[in-house]
Amino acid sequence: GRDSGTVFGASWDLPNLKIARYHVSQIEDGCSLLDFHFMVARPGEIQTWRERHKLGLFSRRQYEEAFHAAELELSYVAFGPSFLGSFVGYNPRQT
């Protein structure tokens, strides 16, 4: 799922409402570029639009250094189907 050019998609089929969201990911210059395409269909109308998201890609060490530079303690919480998780920073002086 992390390879450049990977296609992701999801759709929802509800009475009187159909929604589709698809995107292709590209990796370029240390960033993940996500090219989203949306379609929402209701009785009598269909709306489509596109969004481009640019996300920085950083190593675990870079995240740790940034949190410590901000004088935050750091923990890692694994969640989701891939267990990619998130870093959580907190101020130890306020806990």
Task: Give the residue extent of every domain in the chain.
Answer: 1-57, 59-88
Model-wide pTM > 0.85: no
What pLDDT, on the 0 to 100 scale, is given for residue 43?
98
What pLDDT, on the 0 to 100 scale, is given for residue 18?
98
The span from the CA of 75 to the CA of 86, in Å, is: 9
Helix, strand, or coil here: 1?
coil
Q: Which CATH number fits domain 1-57: 3.40.50.2300, 3.40.1280.10, 3.40.50.740, 2.20.130.10?
A: 2.20.130.10
Write out pLDDT tens, residues 38-78: 999 999 999 999 999 999 999 889 989 999 999 999 988 88
Closest CA to 36 of 28, 48, 47: 48
Sheet containing strand 17-28, edge to edge, reads 7-14, 17-28, 31-42, 45-56
36 within 8 A of 66, measured Cβ to Cβ:
no
